[in-house]
Structure 1
């Protein structure tokens, strides 16, 4: 790689770092491309457009930034999962790659808080859908969950699995913020196993009411 290419990659990463932090703190729609450029110390206010083309592509780059490594780790865990694995072991394949990624982030980190912000922004809905439409391992995970919970109907199970993703994201965003504030208790490993235990209880809970209200999730899971 030439010197210019190296500098270009560093500038791109700096813009991604700045955008992730500012989006996490202020929300996606409240932060301009100019503000992102200024946050990295450049006077070139068109830097975001130069490196990413447009706003959607910046958000897409942020969403996909660590996606492949997380999917790779999930696939490793799935490959090692025994045929008679229990529900907690299956859920661990979903949760552990996510919390391991967050634990490995330089501090302060903004990843969970950014994702929590972006999932509530209507303008990012199409980017979210296209970035996560092939989230490797999720189909196999669902099949393994279904095998463990044959007494739960498929629509209910899919809805609960979606809730698990949103629950995990919210808790991790809160814990990430607490780390920065110095008020956290425990560590990312304890967060992960709390979510595994809570997820197992929720997925296996008795069904006591009609499932007529259910519809396919409108927002893809980000973890």
Structure 2
């Protein structure tokens, strides 16, 4: 006997809706779930476009010269409040740029650091570790303007300090590389190492950013990757397409090598602080008149050295 609708067991209509039963036809999937998935994909696409646009505009114009509304408009969003909706404020957007790049940078740097720690000598470890810091950044040339963005950020010391929070983990391998260098230079005073490391990184980022601004528009995607495994700047898999591209790749690889050598020398150079403090304590005689003094170009406190020849300045 055919049952009426009221005679079906309680909850039967829910089971039919769950399986997609409609008027005797069967549908696959969940329309609501599919729509949520499409909405998520659209949101993710918009978010990625905002990050890429913000990176470019910050690199070109500076961090304070670009508003969230300008970023949304330049990203093609019809909603000028899209950047604020996705990130809240500019500080969070800056963090998002770091997070967006962190996966590739940390993965690449981890491989290079593993090679660096397996070196036979301390000097080789220093050279390889410095290269592990610089090379992944160089390989991003032609993939946006991240290095130029970093150069803008490092000029804003207070904001740079806030964005690079250790707990975020976005620059975990960068901090690991710094620790390796510190262990490889045990005789260098901590304050001296910190100053030299900061100076070396600023030099590297400024040099790469300058290259990026001049040549990034000419370079093709993945061009920088040609020098990833060959420090001489030649593509191990064969010549790149076109003489101009080959010159760009070679030039960039040479820049990475030069930076690694310069930064390694800067970090590993003997410190004049030990000699200076020994003389101050009276353990040895001061240098003779006319002898060049390495620390008298400027005082450690930033003041010019005004001591007469043959005498060291009296500093606390």
1:193 is aligned to 257
Measured in 1, the distance between the counterparts of 2:99 and 2:51 equals 11
SS of residue in 1 equivalent to 2:109: helix
The separation in 1 between residues aligned to 2:180 and 2:114, in whole angstroms, is: 12
Partner of 1:162: 198
1:51-66 alignment, distance < 5 Å: 51-66=86-101
- Could you say which residue in structure 2 is the equivalent of 1:218? none
Give yes or no for contact 1:92–1:196 (8 Å, CA) kept in 2: yes
Q: What runs of 5+ residues in structure 1 fail to find an aligned partner?
A: 215-223
CA distance in 2, matches of 1:111, 1:23: 9
Q: CA distance change for structure 1 residues 7 and 169 in 2, over 3 Å: closer, same or farther?
A: same
RMSD: 2.8
Distance 1:79 1:31 in 2: 39
Q: What TM-score does the superposition give when structure 2 sets the normalisation length?
A: 0.59
* Rounded Cα–Cα distance in structure 1 between residues aligned with 2:102 and 2:271: 33
**Cα shift readout 1:160-197 (whole Å, capped 9, x = no counterpart):** 11111111110111000011465996443222111111
* 1:128 Cα offset (Å): 1.8
* Structure richer in helix, relative to its length: 1
Q: 1-side partners of 2:180 and 2:61: how far apart?
A: 39
Deviations 1:109-163 (A, max 9, x none): 3111111112223663453232676432445434433454344223212221111
1:63: how far off? 2.0
Deviation, structure 1 residue 11: 0.7
Name the residue aligned to 2:128: 89
For structure 2, list consecutive stretches of 5 or more residues without a partner in the other structure. 1-35, 220-246, 278-298, 302-316
**CA separation of 1:79 and 1:122: change in aligned 2, threshold 3 A:** closer
Aligned residue pairs: how many?
210
Say whether residues 1:25 and 2:60 are aligned partners. Answer: yes
Equivalent residue runs for 1:1-223 within 5 Å: 2-80=37-115, 81-82=117-118, 84-85=120-121, 86=124, 87-100=126-139, 102-103=140-141, 105-106=142-143, 109-121=144-156, 124-125=159-160, 127-130=162-165, 134=169, 135-138=171-174, 140-180=176-216, 186-209=250-273, 213=300
1:199 positional shift = 0.8
8 Å CA contact retained: 1:16, 1:62: yes
* Secondary structure class of the residue paired with 1:66: helix
> Comparing 29-38 with 182-191, which one deviates more in the overlay?
182-191
CA contact (8 A) 2:112 2:132 kept: yes
Q: TM-score with structure 1 length normalisation?
A: 0.80
Higher gyration radius (CA): 2
- Contact preservation (8 Å) 1:64, 1:131: no
The alignment partner of 1:206 has SS state of coil
| Structure 2 Cα separation of the partners of residues 126 and 200 of structure 1 | 24
